[in-house]
Amino acid sequence: MDIQVIDLANPLWLKTLQKLSYDVYHLPEYVYLESQRTQSIPEAILMVDGEKIFFLPYLLRRCDDLFDGEFAIPEVFDVVSPNGYAGFLLSEAAANTPDFLNLALEKLKSVFFSKSVCSAFLRLHPILNQNFNEVLASKFCQVSGETISIDLSLSTTEIWQQTRPEHRTYINRCKRDGFTPKMVEFKDYIDKFIDIYTETMERVEAKKYFYFDYKYFASLANLNENIHLCILELNNQIACAGIFTECCEIVQYHLGGTKNEFLKQAPSKLMFDYVRFWAKERGNKFLHLGGGVGAAKDSLYNFKAGFSKQRHPLLTLRLITDEAKYVHLVELRAKALKTESENLLKSHFFPAYRSLN
């Protein structure tokens, strides 16, 4: 098996994607903007064995800035997926060889160990990596929640029938009230989108990591044909807006928001209704809406569930690639939090040494 760690400038990155089904999260441009946002190192690992291909983009993070200066630690890193649903990509031959995937993950752990990586937290793609929990060893993979998508291969009638009656009522009411949905160039509406998105995050008291600066959105706009903005207008005012990605017949809801003054009309319901039929007309197979905050079955999950009966398990890989370094970092975190390391190790938070409480 040929194994290579490649950077964004390596032409192998794009050449490999051309051989596989992938999503926007695997594009070098997207991984780059995520690395800039998180101050991490963008890389990918490529494993090839004949026709069998394993490809994984990831972010390499330093761990030596996690603790106060009094805690001297050796050089150590960890790995995390870019924001969203990246996961790994497999060629058809690799996907049809179950043993290959588990072998690839063992090789992955060895490569990470050699790079002083002590752990890896990887979010898998709910569609491209669907049901891989039935193939992967249970020590690697766990079901962390559930996401929702709309099956665009269904007829428009069937898609509408899967819509919750309450959602249908609001959609029809918004249409009667004169709300108008349309797709626009994201680059032309960045400032207006940021205003709506920030207003929404403040209203729901979102955590800090749900906020993004102008540079992030400008970089996102540079994805060009892979990025779309849907807005809903009423009397020349934008009531709500949503960013959607499109890649390899998969449309993903990325970020969105609604202005406070239009909350009662729930215009986002009409926005999702419009986007699903727009996506279907363009020949896409899925509109993936995602799940709740932190994979919880919360009000956001319940809202999305009103558009479709199709569900996907949200899978995560939690790899400890260097046990000694991992335990050492957990001990340092426990000291900082004035608790016992066993308490952190028993928690569901991974990696435990990044826990804040």
> Helices marked H in 67-189 — which ranges?
92-95, 98-114, 156-161, 165-177
Per-residue pLDDT, 184: 97
**Residue 289 banded pLDDT, cuts 50, 70, 90:** very high
Query: pLDDT (tens digit, 9 = 90+) per residue, 272-284?
Result: 999 999 999 999 9
Tell me: pLDDT of 73 over 80.
no
Q: How far is it, in rounded angstroms, from Cα 84 to Cα 135?
A: 22
Question: What separation in angstroms does the CA of 269 have from each of 96, 116, 188, 336?
Answer: 39, 47, 23, 45
Average pLDDT, stretch 139-156? 93
Q: Which structural domains are found in the chain, ordered by start?
A: 2-145+315-354 (3.40.630.30), 153-284 (3.40.630.30)
Per-residue pLDDT, 275: 98
Average pLDDT, stretch 6-23? 97
Q: What is the mean pLDDT of the chain?
A: 94
pTM of structure: 0.94
**Residue 17 banded pLDDT, cuts 50, 70, 90:** very high
| Residues 16/55, Cβ–Cβ less than 8 Å | yes
**Residue 190 banded pLDDT, cuts 50, 70, 90:** very high
Average pLDDT, stretch 36-62? 97
Tokens of 10: 């390596």
Average pLDDT, stretch 101-130? 95
